């Protein structure tokens, strides 16, 4: 399923005593005013880079709320859904399943339906006041995680904070840490779930990218005080992610080329045992304590930095973000123009640069006051570049991972199978690099 759902209760509406038909009750002027002030904060609570759908109950007060949300997000279309009024949970899951994978769905509805649905999905019973919203990450119909919940008042407070750029930087970094901590907890609860490891590394990389982007504002000792523990946290899960990717690739090869290896089950078992060993290291109490200290340090660091005074030293935050983003774009473009496609390390480096630039656009675009169309073009450029360079770097990482087993004392046939896989991945890598070189103009 893998979607993000924002459940949003309609704003303050006319009293039942005033309007005879419940269906026709509309928002009061106070209700509209509060929503128009708080709804724009959704820009910072949902991923604006992904497809966003707005579903509304057909009741007037819900549709009006959805319209305000739509305008605040750039005029997105609204789809009225009868099942939201009816509270049909099975229909909810069915409709979500029919959407594009990884999209965001904003559902505008009523009580007690919204709190019931969120409880069924996450186990958390939330007191949805008028204008309240909750963000839920769905993996499937039985696995969902509550990421955040805001009453109307706290959304209003977030808007006040948003209007102060120095506070916004702290919020951005804190939210990134919240995501990292959330996926670390998810990993500890379900260490066999590869996606938890992947998402933990993605969000850690996003935090590190944000740090790097803000580096010119920070004294070097302050920057290093966060950079080093964040880097250590990322490295902690590198081996596990490496083995997860390798396992997927080996299983794919075995299905595609069933006669390639002498003992495919033995190879899978070897890698699986290595993964289990690494998993046990990461969930050991001593490592958990170490990770708790890292997270505590990073949270404390975010709170201790005097963001307001740092920003006062620049022309203004918006100009800083705009100039810095332009510089990052220029770096990536120059790297592409100078790229030697026979050098896999150079290709890997450019991919990381593209990934970093993509995260920068995601985290800081709202502060740069860039044209929305131009911003989307840059986001698309970074995403496509990262995607096109990924296969080559994945083959390279798999080769390195396979070589890491060669120092062990292994049965002759197992060693032979590993060498066969290394040769297979090397040929794939060479072919992919040649393909990149032949189509290099497509990357610029």
Fold agreement (3-162, 164-313): no
CB-based contacts of 326, cutoff 8 Å, min separation 6: none
Span 97-117, pLDDT tens digits: 999 888 999 999 999 999 999
Q: What mean pLDDT comes out for the span 38-42?
A: 84
Question: Distance (Å, rounded) from C-alpha 309 to C-alpha 169?
Answer: 12
Question: Distance (Å, rounded) from C-alpha 162 to C-alpha 121?
Answer: 30
Question: Distance (Å, rounded) from C-alpha 196 to C-alpha 139?
Answer: 11
Choose between 67 and 306: higher pLDDT.
Answer: 67
**318 alpha-carbon distance from chain centroid:** 23
Q: What mean pLDDT comes out for the span 329-340?
A: 88
- The mean of the pLDDT values for the chain is 88
Q: What mean pLDDT comes out for the span 154-178?
A: 73
With a cut of 90, say whether residue 152 has pLDDT above it. no
Cα–Cα distance list, 77 to 80, 271, 276, 318, 337 (Å): 10, 48, 47, 29, 40
Question: Distance (Å, rounded) from C-alpha 78 to C-alpha 56?
Answer: 7
With a cut of 90, say whether residue 66 has pLDDT above it. yes
Would you say 211 and 228 are in contact if contact means Cβ atoms under 8 Å apart? no
**79 alpha-carbon distance from chain centroid:** 26
Show the tokens assigned to 89.
Answer: 């949970």
* SS3 at position 49: coil
With a cut of 80, say whether residue 318 has pLDDT above it. no
What ranges do the domains of the chain cover?
Answer: 3-162, 164-313, 315-444
pTM recorded for the entire structure: 0.68
Span 367-416, pLDDT tens digits: 665 566 777 788 888 888 889 999 999 999 999 999 999 999 999 999 99
pLDDT, position 164: 64
Q: Domain 164-313 is classified in which CATH homologous superfamily?
A: CHAD domain (1.40.20.10)
Helical spans, DSSP H, in 284-315 = 285-304, 307-312
Would you say 271 and 418 are in contact if contact means Cβ atoms under 8 Å apart? no
Lowest average pLDDT, out of 1-15, 172-186, 210-224, goes to: 172-186
What angle is formed at CA 282 by the lines to CA 280 and CA 288, rounded to 5 degrees?
120
Show the tokens assigned to 440.
Answer: 């290099």
Helical spans, DSSP H, in 87-237 = 89-97, 113-122, 152-162, 165-189, 194-214, 220-236
CATH code, 3-162: 3.40.50.1240
CA-based end-to-end distance of the chain: 34
Cα–Cα distance list, 189 to 40, 136, 196, 230 (Å): 34, 18, 10, 22
Beta strands 104-109 and 143-150 are unpaired
Cα–Cα distance list, 97 to 8, 28, 105, 134, 307 (Å): 19, 35, 11, 19, 42
With a cut of 70, say whether residue 443 has pLDDT above it. no
């Amino acid at each position: 399923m893998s979607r993000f759902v924002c459940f949003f209760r309609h704003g303050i509406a006319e009293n039942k005593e005033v309007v005879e038909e419940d269906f026709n009750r509309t928002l009061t002027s106070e209700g509209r005013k509060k929503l128009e002030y708080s709804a724009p904060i959704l820009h910072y609570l949902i991923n604006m880079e992904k497809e966003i759908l707005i579903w509304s109950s057909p009741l007037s007060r819900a549709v009006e709320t959805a319209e305000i949300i739509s305008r605040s997000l750039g005029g997105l279309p609204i789809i009225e859904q009868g099942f939201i009024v009816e509270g049909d949970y099975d229909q909810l899951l069915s409709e979500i399943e029919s959407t594009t994978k990884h999209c965001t769905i904003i559902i505008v509805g009523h009580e007690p339906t919204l709190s019931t649905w969120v409880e069924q999905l996450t186990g958390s019973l939330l007191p949805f006041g008028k204008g309240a919203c909750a963000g839920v990450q769905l993996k499937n119909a039985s696995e969902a995680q509550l990421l955040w919940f805001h009453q109307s008042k706290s959304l209003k407070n977030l808007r006040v904070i948003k209007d102060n750029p120095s506070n916004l930087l702290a919020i951005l970094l804190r939210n990134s840490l919240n995501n990292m901590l959330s996926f670390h907890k998810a990993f500890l609860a379900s260490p066999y779930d590869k996606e938890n490891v992947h998402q933990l590394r993605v969000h850690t990389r996003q935090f590190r990218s944000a740090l790097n982007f803000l580096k010119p504002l920070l004294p070097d000792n302050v920057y290093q005080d966060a950079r080093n523990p964040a880097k250590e946290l990322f490295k902690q899960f590198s081996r596990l992610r490496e083995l997860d990717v390798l396992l997927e690739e080996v299983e794919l090869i075995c299905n595609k080329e069933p006669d390639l290896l002498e003992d495919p089950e033995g190879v899978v078992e070897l890698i699986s045992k290595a993964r289990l060993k690494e998993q046990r290291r990461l969930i050991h109490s001593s490592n958990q304590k170490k990770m708790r200290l890292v997270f505590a340090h990073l949270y404390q660091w975010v709170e201790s930095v005097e963001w307001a005074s740092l920003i006062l030293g620049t022309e203004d935050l918006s100009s800083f973000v705009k100039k810095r983003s332009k510089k990052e774009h220029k770096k990536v473009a120059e790297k592409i123009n100078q790229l030697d496609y026979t050098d896999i390390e150079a290709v890997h480096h450019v991919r990381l640069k593209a990934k970093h630039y993509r995260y920068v656009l995601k985290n800081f675009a709202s502060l740069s006051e860039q044209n929305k169309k131009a911003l989307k073009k840059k986001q698309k450029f970074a995403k496509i570049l990262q995607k096109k360079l990924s296969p080559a770097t994945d083959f390279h990482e798999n080769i390195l991972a396979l070589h890491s087993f060669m120092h062990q004392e292994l049965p002759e046939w197992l060693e032979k199978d590993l060498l066969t896989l290394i040769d297979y991945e090397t040929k794939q890598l060479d072919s992919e690099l040649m393909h990149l070189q032949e189509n290099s103009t497509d990357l610029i």
